[in-house]
């Protein structure tokens, strides 16, 4: 996070409903879409969560081992084609703070 003494709560949520303007394909041949404009999330199941503090403009980081979290696979309803969102949600105690997050994945085709 960026700020001085700002507390952040982060969560990785599967199956939540994300309020967003649009989803973007990650590549032409990818089954994954992403959004960076989500403003809210409701529902879903929290797979991992925690807190961090950005004291003195530091950049704390969190590394979730894929073995601990991604024993779950990205999902899509085979009957409707609707994907199940996997969301990295971050909130702070102040409306003026900024936080940066990233998530990566590996696509396997058969």
Residues 16-64 have pLDDT tens digits of 999 987 889 888 888 888 888 888 999 999 988 888 877 755 566 777 7
| Domain ranges for the chain | 6-92
Rounded-to-integer distance, Cα 11 and Cα 9, Å: 7
Q: What is the predicted pLDDT for the residue at 44?
A: 94
Contact 107, 32 (CB under 8 A): yes
pTM score, whole prediction: 0.78
């Amino acid at each position: 996070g960026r700020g001085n003494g700002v507390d952040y709560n982060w969560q990785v949520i599967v199956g939540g409903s994300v309020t967003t303007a649009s989803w973007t394909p990650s590549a032409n041949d990818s089954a994954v879409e992403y959004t960076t404009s989500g403003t809210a999330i409701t529902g879903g199941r929290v797979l991992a969560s925690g807190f961090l503090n950005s004291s003195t403009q530091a950049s704390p980081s969190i590394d979730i081992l894929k073995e601990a979290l991604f024993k779950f696979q990205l999902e899509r309803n085979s009957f409707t084609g609707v994907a199940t969102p996997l969301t990295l949600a971050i909130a702070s105690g102040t409306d003026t703070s900024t936080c940066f997050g990233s998530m990566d994945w590996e696509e396997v085709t058969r």
